[in-house]
Amino acid sequence: MNIVIVGIGMIGARHVACFGRAGHRITTVDRKEGADHDRVADVPARSDVDAWVVATPTATHLAVVSEILRCQPNARILLEKPACYPAELGDLVDLVRRHPRARIVVNDVYAHSRVVRRFAESVHRAAAGDPIRKITIEFTKNRVLDIANGRFVDTQYGEAGYECFHMLSILRAILPAGHYERYLRTNPALVTPEMRVRTAVPELPEVELYTSSGGAIGFAGLAGFAFSASTAKRYLARSIIPFSAELRYRFADVELVSGKHVTLVFEPSYGVAADYKNEHTVHVRDAGSQQRVTVSGNHFEEALLAQLDFLCGADEGTAVLRLAEHRLMAALGLTAATGSFAWPVEPELQVGLPGNGEELARFGSA
C-alpha cells in the first residue's frame, strides 16, 4: 500500500518504521529536514494514496486534515490523538460532514492491544459472580526532560492530554458500554492538577485515574509487586520516577468486592529484559493464590496495522473520533488550569455525534 505520513517527529518516525516493516510504500511530509515533500499538496499522485497518517503537533491537526481532504476527498486518515484542540472539535466535525466519502480514525493504541483484551477477559470472568468495587488506572512517567525539549507540551488539554486518552481506552474495555457512557458524562468527585480523577457513580464501580508527567507515583502498592529490578523497586519505594529515568509505571487494577484483584501491568521487566517494552503481565490475586500470564508484543504496532486494515475495509463516511473522550479530557484540562470543573463543549457537539461509547459513526449518506 502507498501510505503518506505527515509529520516525522518521534511519533511519526514510529509510524514510518512500523508500516515500513510491514512492507508498505512510505512517503513523508514535514517542514523539517528529512521529509520527502514539504507539504501535502506536493505529494505526487495524491489520488493514488491508500492511507494518510497525521502525526504533526495537535495544533496543526485540523489544518492538515483539511488539506488532505482538499487534495483527496475520499481519503483514509489515521489521526494521532488528541484529534484537535477542544475549541476546534466542532470545526473537525463540520469538516468530516462536508467530506462524506472520507474515513477517519483517531489512533487508539490500547483499544487494539492484545494484553488489554486478555486483561478485560480476565476481569469479566472474575467479576461474573464477584462484582467490581473499584477500578484504578495509573500512567506515570517523568517527562520533565521531554517537556524541556519542547515535546509533550499541551497548552489546551494540559496533563490530561498526555495519557488520559489511553487510560479511557482501558476503562472502556472493562466497563459495559452503558456504564462507560455514563462515566463519560459524570462530573468527577475529585480532580487534582497532577492529575488524579476520582469518580463515584451510583450502581457503578468507583473509578480513579491517575497520571503524572513529573514522575510522582500515585499507587505504588497496586502494581509494584510485578517489578523485580532493583532500580524499579527503589523508585517505587520512594514513589517517584527520577528525572530522565526510562521507567514508565503503567497499570490497571480491578478490585472485586471479595478483595480479589485483577491487575494489568505494562513493562514489568524494566531493568531486567532488553525488550521489556514489549512484555506485559496480567495477574489475578487474592489472599491465598496468585496467577500470572505474560503477553508479549508491541501494542503500538498491533494498533497501527489493525487500524490500517479497518480503514481499508470501512465504508465511506465512517469516522471514529471519540468526541466524548475529548470532551472529558478538555474538561479535566480546564479544571487543572482554573480549579473549577466545567464541560467546555459547544451545544451542537452534544447532538448526534460519535464517541459516546459507539465504535463507529456514519457522517456520509447511507
Domain 110-298, CATH class in plain words: alpha beta
Q: What is the pLDDT of residue 287?
A: 84
Phi, psi of 305 (to 5 degrees): -70, -35
**CATH code 3.40.50.720 region(s) in the chain:** 2-109+301-320+343-362
pTM of the model: 0.92
What does the pLDDT read at residue 337? 76
pLDDT computed for residue 34 by the predictor: 78
pLDDT at 152: 61
- pLDDT at position 25 is 96
Residues of the chain where predicted confidence (pLDDT) is lower than 70: 148, 150-153, 344-366
The CATH class of the 2-109+301-320+343-362 domain is alpha beta
Sheet containing strand 261-266, strands side by side: 190-191, 196-199, 206-212, 132-140, 249-256, 261-266, 279-285, 290-296
Per-residue three-class SS string for the chain: CEEEEECCCHHHHHHHHHHHHCCCEEEEECCCCCCCECCHHHCCCHHHCCEEEECCCHHHHHHHHHHHHHHCCCCEEEECCCCCCHHHHHHHHHHHHCCCCCEEEECCHHHHCHHHHHHHHHHHHHCCCCCEEEEEEEEECECHHHHHCCCCCCCCCCCHHHHHHHHHHHHHHHCCHHHHHHHHCCCCCEECCCCEEEECCCCCCEEEEEEECECECCCHHHHHHHCCCHHHHHHHHHCECCCCCCCCEEEEEEEECCCCEEEEEECCCCCCCCCHHHEEEEEEECCCCEEEEEEECCHHHHHHHHHHHHHHHCCCCEEECCHHHHHHHHHHHHHHHHCCCCCCCCHHHHCCCCCCCCCCEECCCC
Query: What residue ranges of the chain are covered by domains with CATH 3.30.360?
Result: 110-298
CB-based contact 288:279 (threshold 8 Å): no
Give residue 35's pLDDT: 84
